[in-house]
A and B are shown apart, each in its own frame.
Chain A
């Protein structure tokens, strides 16, 4: 059974810092991995999707990498802003629909 773990569970950084969120999964037989952002009580916004054959994807200040063989992905956020404060979830898709991690709650302090 696929299990997804995200470390750290919470992170607080000053504005302007670069930061890395980590995601690991137990079954490397995945089709793709998605990173989502969720604001409190709100829906899920897809940030980046990495196919299993890809190593990384970039969108603006966000860069996500995937090492399928080791079961790891990272989300790099450059020059963090207070508006980046949210919970970031990673989810993997394999033989079953998306399996989510419990998320990293990010606070960017102005």
Chain B
């Protein structure tokens, strides 16, 4: 069965650089969620999209932005990267009418 695809799987950036993370949801899933998991921490909700519109916003820094495109894939754009942004970034998708969120394998971002 198709799963959530995230790219890249690993990313190394310098401080103050920018990064773009991509998420491709499971086919027919119209809702996408982004979560950040710091080292030894639980995942924290950042932002979500439903039918290409932002549906909810969590603890996403102003330096980050995200959008969902017409094919339902989503991109998380991160600017002015800080050391504290080093984390696993998960994308999850959900199909309308169902509750289960399916998580991708994550993108490990390391900021040096």
Contacts and interface: CB of A to CB of B under 8 A. Distances in A.
Interface string A83-110: 0000001010100111111110000000
A100 B48 CA distance: 16
A96 B106 CA distance: 21
B30 to A, nearest CB: 15
Interface residues of B, number: 22
B101 A34 contact: yes
Interface string B87-112: 01010100000011111111010000
For chain A, the bracket of interface size reads 20 to 34
Chain B residues touching A, majority SS: strand
Interface in A39-83: 41-46, 49, 51
B45 interface: yes
B56 A49 contact: no
B48 A97 contact: yes
B99 A41 contact: no
Chain A residues touching B, majority SS: strand
Interface string B70-88: 0000000000000000001
Top 5 A-B pairs, shortest CB-CB distance: A100-B42, A44-B103, A43-B105, A97-B45, A102-B42
15 contacts: A34-B100, A34-B101, A44-B43, A46-B100, A46-B102, A89-B42, A96-B58, A98-B43, A98-B92, A99-B45, A100-B42, A100-B43, A101-B42, A102-B41, A103-B42
Interface of B: 33, 35, 41-45, 48, 56, 58, 88, 90, 92, 99-106, 108
Interface of A: 31-32, 34, 36, 41-46, 49, 51, 89, 91, 93, 96-103
